[in-house]
Amino acid sequence: LDDLIAEGLITATGVAGLYGRSGRFEAIVDGLRRRISALPVAAQAEVFHFPPLMSRAVFEDNGYMSSFPHLAGVVATFAGDEREHRALCEDLASGVDWLCRCCSADVVLTPAACYPVYPLVASRGPVPLEGASFDIESFCFRREPSTDPFRLQSFRQKEFVFVGAPEQATARRAAWMAQARDLAADLGLRFSVEPASDAFFGKGGRIAAGRQHEEELKLELLVSIPGRDQPVACMSFNLHQDKFALACGLSGLKGATVHSACAGFGLERLAMALLAMHGADPKAWPAEARRLVG
Ligand code: AMP
Ligand code: ZN
């Protein structure tokens, strides 16, 4: 973290896991974004960038608060009259909690880039035989404050998303993974791909995490970072089975079963992994890594 700040790549905001990013850092992110979108497997995908906020109703339908209440961020806004506003200002001035004078909005902070995609597909009617493919990006929020620069509260995920028949979803994930591995190797990263699980909440969550791990529903591309004991997950490849299809009312033609899958690329993590691997000055990076991120 200190090195990234000293090199002028990111800047502190006073909050752990929340940083401003310099032009040099963003140039790397931009190159990664373009390179990922240029993978052959993204060729037919519809491109969307979503805001850092999403519909609270969709967030509720997807069961985020059941599985990950500790990571969620919701939005509170003030909707009172002038009398209530005076009371809020008095609370503020005297250091009393003023948030209880606000109420929850119909938006929440987006926790994973692909959440807005499923209702979009549902709104179009039955999923076509060939399925639906997306290449998306969103700022994501997860409440995991840390001084580890790889663990941010606000970060960008680029994702490939597929909705279609179960065997198509499985095949698509395999194709994403093969091409993402090649890209990581070409970028000069050292990595392995391993079964993983999401950070489900509580004792009940352990069962869900165990099942996810056992059935290899989540695979992560773990990058070795010089000077660190533990590798860092920079990409994930996920099979959701019918979770989002059921939550969002997705259906296939003639009632065919619909599954979904996504591949998530952490743009800040990938940029930081490259900086850790090849040095703070991209001009001095190996030629192939420089060429790939442009
Ligand atoms: P996930 O949705 O948890 O599979 O995350 C997909 C990718 O997003 C991960 O492989 C990371 O590269 C990135 N990511 C997830 N959580 C964070 C975080 N707290 N800070 C930075 N990047 C993250
Ligand atoms: Zn996703």
Question: What one-character-per-residue DSSP string does 198-231 give?
Answer: ----HHHHHHHHHHHHHTT-EEEEEEP-TT-SS-
Q: Which atom of ligand 1 is nearest to the CA of 142?
A: 19
Determine the distance separating the centroid of ligand 2 and the alpha carbon of 98, expressed in angstroms: 35
Which residue reads 């979803």 in tokens?
169
Determine the distance separating the centroid of ligand 1 and the alpha carbon of 166, expressed in angstroms: 25
pLDDT number for residue 195: 98
Ligand 1 site-directed mutation target among 117, 153, 161, 269, most atoms within 8 Å of CB = 269
Instruction: Kindly report the backbone phi and psi dihedral angles of residue 229, in degrees, each rounded to the nearest multiple of 5, phi listed first.
Output: -70, -45
Q: Which atom of ligand 1 is nearest to the CA of 157?
A: 8
Type and span of the H or E element at 270: helix 267-278
Which residue reads 């691997």 in tokens?
277
The token pair at 212 is: 């996810």
Ligand 1 binding pocket (C-beta < 6 A) is: 112, 142, 144, 151-152, 155, 157, 233-236, 264, 266, 268-269
The span from the CA of 158 to the CA of 152, in Å, is 15
Low-confidence stretches of the chain (pLDDT < 70) are none
pLDDT number for residue 79: 96
pLDDT number for residue 49: 98
Determine the distance separating the centroid of ligand 1 and the alpha carbon of 232, expressed in angstroms: 10
pLDDT number for residue 232: 98
